[in-house]
Chain A
Amino acid sequence: MSSAALGRFYEDGEVVVHQGDVGDSLFVVQDGLVEILVEEDGSEVVLRTAGRNEVLGEMAIFEHLPRSATIRARGRARILTLDKRNFLRRINEDPSLAFRMIETMSHRVRELSHEVVELQAALAGHGSPAEVVEH
């Protein structure tokens, strides 16, 4: 990994944002991997990992709520920060900037729906996925 590229380095295990923090930025992974995890009652659940060119923390753009998950470097990672205010200002001039972000969010909703189906099925031991996913 070059030390003269975009963003800043996070060492293995270093936290980019903490769950519960108030968010005012988005992140784009430039190199390496990060994990997105939820901490509850002292234990951690890793929701997924994200790599190069993935945009993270976009919920902070649309909601005024604390961060719903922690983002942490898995191995050495390089991350570029996008400022929320500037981002919204740019979307105001060019709404198509949001296309890709909406696309990403829609993929995540689809993935989550899929997981809900699997979990429901696992919990029930049987069951009809069609009853659960209605979008």
Chain B
Amino acid sequence: MVTGRIDFEGDGQIEGAALVDGSRVAVIGGGPAGALFTYFLLDMADRVDLKIDVDIYEPRLFAEPGPIGCNMCGGIISETLVQNLATDGVFLSTDVVQRGIDSYVLHTDVGSVRIATPNDEMRIAAVHRGGGPRDVTESRWESFDHHLLENAVERGANVIHARVDEIGRIDGRPTIKVHGGEPRAYDLAVIATGVNTSLLKSLEGLGIGYLRPKLTKTLIREYLVGADEIGRSLGTSMHVFLLDLPRLEFAAVIPKGDYVTMCLLGEDIDNALAETFAAAPQVRAIMPPGWDPAARSCQCLPHINVHGVDKPFAERVVFIGDSGVTRLYKDGIGAAYRTAKAAARTAIFEGVSEGAFRDHFLPVCRAIQGDNRIGAYAFVLTRVAQRFRILRRAILAIARDEQRPGRRPRLSGVLWDIFSGSAPYGDIFRRMVDPVLAVRGIMALPGVLVATVRGPAAAVAANPNPRR
């Protein structure tokens, strides 16, 4: 067993278990968390002249269309993550980015408003996580997960295309067993399996204090629409919906290259709710004429992590991405980036002991979870807006007014950050309860009341896609 202290020129000693030359690291799952962890681990190891071997266990083939290549997601790469990756040298070329997104359009039953990025720049990326839906005939884009995994391979990682059946421990070191194989011992096991796997349940019995995250079901559909049609209808905007439909909390329609992705979040999400949503006039209005909601290319019902793990680490074991702690509802890949990088930094510079992860990895997880608690309140406010038409009218009136030149985009900024997941929830919440915003709300009230008294006929819904 390598329990050591390495010495980077002088005092920088690592107490307890550490990675040394020849150490072996197993990464279970080659999605964004696993691939980014490996990329950063090998990059940082290189910087300190440490020679380590990394095996990534990943059964999916990300270049393939259909379920075998897909990690089921909306495929929005947030503004912050785009910028972080660009700074870290992970280049997202036009081979990967199917559509640059420059705006959000908020749709309600009383109208819509478009909120654009500064300078009308494309600051958000829409991607496919795998090779696309199963009816893809010729894949014109590289999948995001494939791209990240290739980056890790270029750094020297070894990919083992197999599902891990069992994680155990021998002499204090983690062991990995794939179907039909013998357990292999490693100096560090990094769990990056996401939440849509049965492996996590078995890890609860490993005696390391791990308890699975709390999950909820979501729904994703893909529609083949064609790039030109998408350009004419949805454009380069992500479309989000605040509709008063029972059980629906949040819905988004995201334009990709040739496909449109529909994501639903709520209570007991099922097919019936997806049908109701797809038939809503606000959805039909943004889709091309003749679009048939029944003609979908694929559908899946993946789980999402809504309450992270309290102890996402143990001696020589760390849980990153969705299998540990993630961001509530938004920017899950961005959170995977943060936890992956924090785990890599800890492993290289602080060691792989339980204490090292507690002191250096846990604070990043705690920051995300603390922010999620505030996020939960922010989402309560959006839920309230979903229930009361008068509030939806007020939001639209203020946000529209803010689109005029020279107006400070207070509410638009809040909406942008809520929908894009670009800022910490704490930040968003503080701006949500800003007194200036309350004053703007009061000033908008007379107009809103008149519109409400006149009834739905007077709604501003005549402009479902403000770009047209």
- A100 contacts B87, C-beta separation under 8 Å: yes
Contact A6 B97 (CB under 8 A): yes
Task: Give the interface size bracket for A toward B.
Answer: 20 to 34
Which of A36-44, A63-71, A82-90, A119-127 is the interface stretch? A82-90
A90 touches B84 (CB 8 A): yes
Chain A residues with Cβ below 8 Å from B125 are: 6
Residue B29 at the chain A interface, CB threshold 8 Å: no
A57 to chain B, nearest CB (A): 12
Report A66-96 CB contacts with B as 1/0, cut-off 8 Å.
Answer: 0000000000000011110011001001101
In the assembled complex, how far is the CB of residue A50 from the closest CB belonging to chain B, in whole angstroms?
A: 14
**A94 and B84 alpha carbons, distance in the complex (Å):** 10
Would you call B92 and A6 a contact (CB within 8 A)?
yes
- The SS class assigned to the B binding surface is helix
Check A55–B94 contact: CB distance below 8 A.
no
Q: Please, which residues of chain B bring their CB within 8 A of the CB of A28? A: 86-87
**In the complex the two chains form, what is the Cα distance from A55 to B87 in whole Å?**
7
Measured in the bound complex, the distance between the Cα atoms of B345 and A44 in whole Å is 44
Q: Is the CB of B341 within 8 A of A80?
A: no
Instruction: Report B-chain residues with C-beta under 8 Å of the C-beta of A1.
Output: 94
The answer to whether B88 touches A100 (Cβ under 8 A) is yes
Q: How far is the CB of B74 from chain A (nearest CB, A)?
A: 17
Nearest CB on A from B260, distance (A): 14
A53 touches B91 (CB 8 A): yes
Contact residues, B223-262 vs A (CB, 8 A): 231, 236
Q: How many A-B residue pairs have CB under 8 A?
A: 81
Enumerate chain A residues within 8 angstroms of B83, measured Cβ to Cβ. Answer: 80, 82-83, 86-87, 90
B44 within 8 A of A: yes
Which residues does chain A contribute within 8 Å of B120, judged by CB atoms?
8
Given contacts A5-B97, A8-B122, contact A90 B80 (CB under 8 A): yes
Does A31 count as interface, using CB distance less than 8 angstroms?
yes
Contacts of B47 in A (CB 8 A): 99
The answer on a CB contact under 8 Å between A6 and B100 is: yes
B-side contacts of A87, CB under 8 Å: 83, 87
In the A-B complex, the 6 residue pairs with the closest CB atoms:
A2-B94, A28-B86, A5-B94, A8-B121, A53-B91, A4-B99
Complex formed: what's the CA distance from A4 to B231 in Å?
9
B interface footprint on A1-21 (CB within 8 Å = 1, 0 otherwise): 110111110000000000000
Q: Is the CB of A82 within 8 A of B88?
A: no
User: Within B112-161, which residues are at the interface with A (CB < 8 Å)?
Assistant: 119-123, 125
- Closest chain-B Cβ to A76's Cβ sits at a distance in Å of 13
CB distance from B121 to the nearest CB of A (A): 4
Given A5-B94, A7-B100, A99-B47, the answer on whether A80 and B87 have CB atoms closer than 8 Å is no
User: Which residues of B84-109 are within 8 A (CB) of A?
Assistant: 84, 86-89, 91-94, 97-100
**CB pairs A–B below 8 angstroms (29 shown):** A1-B94, A2-B97, A4-B100, A4-B231, A6-B100, A6-B123, A6-B125, A7-B100, A8-B120, A8-B121, A52-B93, A53-B91, A80-B82, A80-B83, A80-B86, A80-B121, A80-B123, A81-B121, A86-B80, A87-B87, A90-B83, A90-B87, A93-B367, A94-B342, A97-B88, A99-B43, A100-B87, A100-B89, A101-B87
CB-contact partner of B236 in A4, A30, A82, under 8 A: A4
- B: number of interface residues (CB 8 Å): 34
Shortest C-beta distance, B117 to chain A (Å), equals 9
Which residues does chain A contribute within 8 Å of B93, judged by CB atoms?
Answer: 5, 30, 52
- Could you tell me if B121 and A7 are in contact, using CB atoms closer than 8 angstroms? yes
CB neighbours of A2 from chain B (8 A): 94, 97
Contact of A82 among B87, B89, B92, B122 (CB under 8 A): B87
Minimum C-beta distance from B45 to chain A (A): 13
CB distance from B82 to the nearest CB of A (A): 6
Can you name the residue of chain A whose Cβ is closest to the Cβ of B422? A86
Contact B86 A82 (CB under 8 A): yes
Separation of A31 and B86 alpha carbons in the complex (Å):
13
Flag if A96 contacts B341 (CB, 8 Å): yes
In the complex, are the beta carbons of B44 and A96 less than 8 A apart?
A: yes
> B342: which A residues are within 8 A, CB to CB?
94
Instruction: Report Cα–Cα, A51/B236, bound state, in Å.
Output: 25
A93 to B364, CA, bound (A): 8
- By a CB distance below 8 angstroms, the chain A residues around B92 are 6
Nearest chain B CB to A5's CB is how many angstroms away?
Answer: 4
Residue of A nearest to B364 (CB): A93
Chain B residue at minimal CB-CB distance from A95: B345
Q: How close is A103's CB to chain B, nearest CB, in angstroms?
A: 9
Minimal Cβ-Cβ distance residue in B for A28: B86
A-contact bits for B68-90, CB 8 A (1 contact / 0 none): 00000000000010111011110
With A96-B44, A101-B87 known as contacts, the answer to whether A4 contacts B80 (CB < 8 A) is no
- How many whole Å from A78's CB to the nearest CB in chain B? 9
